[in-house]
Structure 1
Amino acid sequence: MEQPRKPFLSFAGGASVGYITVHLLPEFQKAQNEFNSVLHIPKRFEEYSLYLVATVGFLTFYSINYLVKKSSRKNALASPPLFIAHIGVFVLYNSFIGYYLIKGLKQEPMSLLFFTGVFVLHIMVNDVGLRLDHKRRYDPWGSGVLALSVFSGWLIGFFTTLPTGVFAIWFGWLAGGILLNTIKEELPKERKSKLIPFLLGTIISSTLFFLI
């Protein structure tokens, strides 16, 4: 059954794409350079060391999403272990967003306001996808746990600073997840995505990221 896609959600998906292409990829390269330096990665692996971590992140989210879809086709709802695993990876995902807001950004009002807005849009897109995947099982505690995970990541960043290697691995793993989750919410036929809002979200987000 086809599920109409609200223009706002396609706009949010476009904003996430703008974040990936204009901000995340350059930051990813910077994180990889620091990762290589701290962990003394052999020179022949330096160009793609953290990209392997991103690939693991991509495959993690892809595999869980695939298994959830397969299980829900058979039983209407995914099995409880798959539901817990799905929520679990998004706890790590959302926690990093909270941590990144306090440790990965310049603590300037305009920058914080804009990045917070983009991340809120991105989390909303993920929230809709999870609600469609897990239906009545997702609320109330699934959404509550994920909301708290953002705050927990922020608290971690407030009280401590993670070692560079840990931060880079977490960031690399998350980058693969962001890439998959952004695209998968716009591509499926049943989502009936809206092209114009998606393009506007991408263009506006990319422009603002470029200017900040």
Structure 2
Amino acid sequence: MDWMPLILALVLAVVHLSARRMVFLESIPRSKFLSIAGGVSVAYVFIHILPELKEHQESIEESAQVVAFLEHHAYLLAMLGLIIFYGLEKAVQDSKKQNPDVGNKPKKSAFWLHISSFFIYNGLIGYLLVHREEAGLWNLLLYGFAMALHFIVVDFGLREHHKGRYDREGRWVLASAIVVGWAIGFMTEIPEAVLALLFAFLSGSIILNVLKEEIPQERQSSFWAFAIGGIGYVILLLSVG
């Protein structure tokens, strides 16, 4: 048994459980560390995840009819992932506006919809610790590092939305999702064609979840920190690729 994917799954779970202690992130202007982490996440998507879709294309074309209509349009799944998570973000924002008397917190139904979606999201990331296109310890560590930084960004956004409810319940659910994803990957293997489509969906989701944290004007994000994180990680990925 290869223990490294399990170790990384546990490390990523700990990131979710401990990110709330990073009090230096809670500042305006936005912490440059969060902008750097966002840049690293997006860099990983564009340099590693999206190019893998092309490599999986033959598997998609030979798959069952349920995915055959996507044989030349796997990138539509990336767009779908972006749209779905944008829709979730809007639903949570609307729910907050409907609850001004409780500190603008989203309704409980919106909270669980949000957390359930991220449970699947985190589960897929955990699964990919076991089944990925690039083999080797170094590539696995690069993936784990990028996802750890990404989880800090995601965790920060979810905590801003859901306040104490996220700390009491949400973070535990999302931490467990990573380990569940790893366990599914350890016990079984999703067909390559389906995995390619899940890769596409994940890439669009990651892009949206990073940019929604960086773009709002009130965040006062650092463009240069985001650019340095992205360009620096691109250089690292290309140098070891």
Compute the TM-score of the two structures, normalised by the length of structure 1. 0.90
The counterpart of 2:89, out of the listed 65, 69, 79, is: 65
Distance 1:32 1:62, change over 3 A: farther
**Runs of 4+ with deviation above 6 angstroms:** none
**Secondary structure at 2:143 match in 1:** helix
Matched, 1:53 2:77: yes
The counterpart of 2:55, out of the listed 12, 16, 30, is: 30
Which blocks of at least 5 consecutive residues in structure 1 are unaligned?
none
1:152 matched residue in structure 2: 180
The 5 A counterparts of 1:112-123 are: 112-123=140-151
Letter in 2 for 1:196: W
Shift of 1:90: 0.6
CA distance in 2, matches of 1:69, 1:96: 25
Distance 1:123 1:33, change over 3 A: farther
Post-superposition Cα deviations, 1:62-93, rounded to whole Å, max 9, x if no partner, equal 11100101111231111111110100111111
Letter in 1 for 2:35: S
Distance 1:56 1:207, change over 3 A: same
Larger RCO, structures 1/2 (Cα 8 Å, 6+ apart): 1
Alpha-carbon RMSD = 1.8
CA distance in 1, matches of 2:153, 2:125: 14
CA distance in 2, matches of 1:145, 1:87: 8
CA distance in 2, matches of 1:131, 1:66: 16
The 5 A counterparts of 1:5-154 are: 5-39=30-64, 41=68, 46-48=71-73, 50-75=74-99, 76-154=104-182
Distance 1:21 1:166, change over 3 A: closer
Shift of 1:55: 2.5
